[in-house]
Amino acid sequence: MQRIEKILKDLVAQAALQHWNINLEEEHIQVQKTRREFEGDFTVVVFPLLRYSKQNPEQTGKFLGSYLVGSSDLIEAFNVIKGFLNLVVAQQYWKDQLDGPLCSHDYGMILPGADAPTVMIEYSSPNTNKPLHLGHIRNNLLGHSVSSILKATGKHVEQVNLVNDRGIHICKSMLAWQKNGNGEDPVSSGMKGDHLVGKYYVRYDQIYKSQVQTLVEKGMPKKEAEAEAEVLKEAREMLRRWEAEDPEVRKLWETMNSWVYAGFELTYKRLGISFDKTYYESETYKLGKELVLKGLNKGVLYQKEDGSIWANLEEEGLDHKLLLRSDGTSVYMTQDVGTAHQRYEESVFDSHIYVVGNEQNYHFQVLTIVLKKLGYAWADKLYHLNYGMVELPEGKMKSREGTVVDADELMDEMEDTARQMSEELGKLEDFTEEEKSRIYRQVGMGALKYFILKVDPKKNMTFDPRESVDFNGNTGSFIQYTYARIRSVLRKGAEKHKGTSQEVLNEKEIALIRIMYDFPEILVEAARTLNPSLLANFLYELAKEFNQFYHDHSILSAETEGQISQRLLLIESAGNIIESGMELLGIEVPERM
């Protein structure tokens, strides 16, 4: 069924051709939703058409309004406010929407065709020296949701993870365990493996700061002391030995990383996250080094006297970027060059999205430039989806100081908060313990995911666990409760017939249909802008509109069987869209709560 916006544009183009002898392209005709304070459903912006009509805005608007009403049964009235033509869509169009597209379970979804573009999305990208924390949660939820939205709008999507399993930071936790671990492992400690390794990353920082302080007290300048601390030199030597494939260092590295991977998998499963493929920096950094050395031989990179290799980015308005250290060890940029090359060779993607915080904007700008210097035109297909920091009401988090909010502990807290608030409200008194446990998980995780995804990715945000689990306001819990209310009404009305729309639609029914009608457009825009918050806030508006309708109008006790039938169809359609939309955000919706 053709959407009304397309119909209106065709009619305006038809009017322009018949009366002004002008072939108007569709992109030159502006149709938008009518603002709430004015009567109408859609508005044609008249100003761009004045050059053709040779009349003032009001005259042009009245002419077009009369033409549209006379040319189509879908437009039943119009009004002109300055340069804006507000159009009232006929009831029949909204009835046809309810009887047709809106009642489909896959409304708004597009299946990818054989020639659909392939999008690779990298997200999560954890380091194996610490557990996942609140910042990782935003990364994972954003990456997963963007992937789902792109799939729903007809793209082939490959979700990939890059595990940062090598480098100086990994060596720091390994070194601290060597010094203080006494053979401790996840079994003997009773800790998740990623938590155990993170403990020793914090321990390294404590040793380092202590050594720096000792050197400063002996009279060494602080900056020099920070470079000369013995434990830092030991970590650098361990990295060198790792790259030289020293058997002892490699064995310790494999052991501690295996602890971390087991811990990560548990966290991912709880978040509902999975990947099509996982890459490891330990497997791609060598390719990066090869490509850098080729660039040096071609003369697009240069070498300093100490043997380090650099890229000169002055022509691009940047500085000089280190690609290989003087001792031959690689840096993050080196391995990202190798990883990008390997992925393109394997996938030949149409675009590659890196979901990484905005503190890495410079890094990805440089990555694209370096790849272009190395001769890879596909570097223009890379895109950095940067997002803002997540803070708590008490401020920022710091991994090395052990002041981060652990992802596992936060999820525990969310479920506990959901339990406390549900008990306070007495919502689950008649449920079994198993049902309660499942709903606490669904509500807690739904609250966490929605609270994070409703915020524009570009913005910094403050996360408040208790505020997120609120059954009123713009929260996941409110939307979940709305869905459960819809399902409850549908169960009670199961024996009623859900037929076609034969009754006259009232204002609230049309308002609800009009919001649902926007779902495909919202998905397309969320995919175009890589912004799940558009979908999240749409679902909140839909839930609000349903609750207003539910408050004002009876469903199962409506005046006629036809009204009951029509309203059941209406709310079932709303429930389907809420369920589909929340699924794209990675959020479950309980049938009862």
What's domain 4-89's architecture?
Answer: 2-Layer Sandwich (3.30)
| Closest-CA residue to 85 (of 47, 53, 118) | 47
Q: Is 259 exposed, middle or buried (0-12, 13-18, 19+ CB in 10 A)?
A: buried
Q: Is the pLDDT of residue 105 over 60?
A: yes
Burial class (CB in 10 A: 0-12, 13-18, 19+), 105: exposed
Q: How far is CA 452 from CA 132, 422, 449, in A?
A: 16, 21, 5
The four Cα atoms 70, 72, 75, 77 give a dihedral, to 10 degrees, of 10
User: What DSSP string describes 255-319?
Assistant: HHHHHHHHHHHHHHHHHT---SEEEEHHHHHHHHHHHHHHHHHHTSSEE-TTS-EEEE-GGGT--
The answer to whether the beta carbons of residues 110 and 524 sit under 8 Å apart is: no
Looking from the CA of 386 toward its CB, the CA atoms found within 13 Å total 13
Q: Where in the chain is the domain with CATH 1.10.730.10?
A: 407-584
Q: Are 242 and 166 a contacting pair, CB within 8 Å?
A: yes
Contact 383, 122 (CB under 8 A): no
The rounded distance, in Å, linking the Cα atoms of 73 and 195 is: 66
Cβ pair 231, 215 in contact under 8 A: no
Q: How far apart are CA 124 and CA 377, in angstroms?
A: 26
Q: What is the pLDDT of residues 285-306, one digit of tens each?
A: 999 999 999 999 999 999 999 9
Residues with Cβ within 8 Å of residue 311, at least 6 apart in sequence: 295, 300, 301, 302, 320, 321, 323, 366, 369, 370, 373
Q: How far apart are CA 443 and CA 592, in angstroms?
A: 11
Cite the DSSP H helix spans in 21-90.
50-53, 57-71
**End-to-end CA separation in angstroms for the chain:** 36
Q: What is the average pLDDT value for the chain, to the nearest integer?
A: 93
Q: According to the model, what pLDDT value does residue 330 have? A: 85
Q: How confident is the model at residue 501, as a pLDDT?
A: 66
Mean pLDDT, rounded, for 511-527: 96
pLDDT in tens, 327-350: 888 888 999 999 999 999 999 999
pLDDT in tens, 480-502: 999 999 999 999 998 776 666 67
The answer, yes or no, to whether residue 405 has pLDDT greater than 90, is no
User: So what's the pLDDT on residue 402?
Assistant: 46
Average pLDDT over residues 258-287: 95
| pLDDT average, residue stretch 30-35 | 95
Give the pLDDT confidence score for residue 494 in this predicted structure.
Answer: 85
Query: Which segments of the chain belong to CATH 3.30.1360.70?
Result: 4-89
Write the single-letter amino acid at 23.
N
* Closest-CA residue to 547 (of 469, 474, 496): 474
Q: How far is CA 75 from CA 11, 94, 303, 359, 538, in A?
A: 11, 11, 71, 51, 26
407-584: CATH number: 1.10.730.10
Element (H, E) at 33: strand 31-33
Which amino acid is present at 331?
V
Write the pLDDT tens digit of every residue in 68-80: 999 999 999 999 9
Mark 138-147 as b/e (b = at least 16 C-beta within 10 Å): bbbbbbbbbb
Tokens found for residue 243: 């790259």
Place of tokens 């652990």: 406
* Alpha helix positions (H), 381-497: 407-425, 433-453, 465-468, 476-492
What tokens does 216 get? 């400063």
Quick one: pLDDT at residue 498?
63
pLDDT for the residue 29: 95
Query: What is d(CA 74, CA 59) in angstroms, rounded to the nearest whole number?
Result: 22
This prediction has a pTM of 0.91
Residues 586, 272 contacting (CB under 8 angstroms) = yes
Distance CA 100, CA 104 (A): 7
Give CA–CA dist 485/282, Å, rounded: 51
Asked whether residue 398 carries a pLDDT value surpassing 60, the answer given is no
Q: For 280, phi and psi rounded to 5 degrees?
A: -125, 130
Q: Tell me the per-residue pLDDT of 348-368, one tens digit each, with 9 for 90 and over.
A: 999 999 999 999 999 999 999
* Burial category of 558 from C-beta neighbours within 10 Å (exposed 0-12, middle 13-18, buried 19 and up): middle
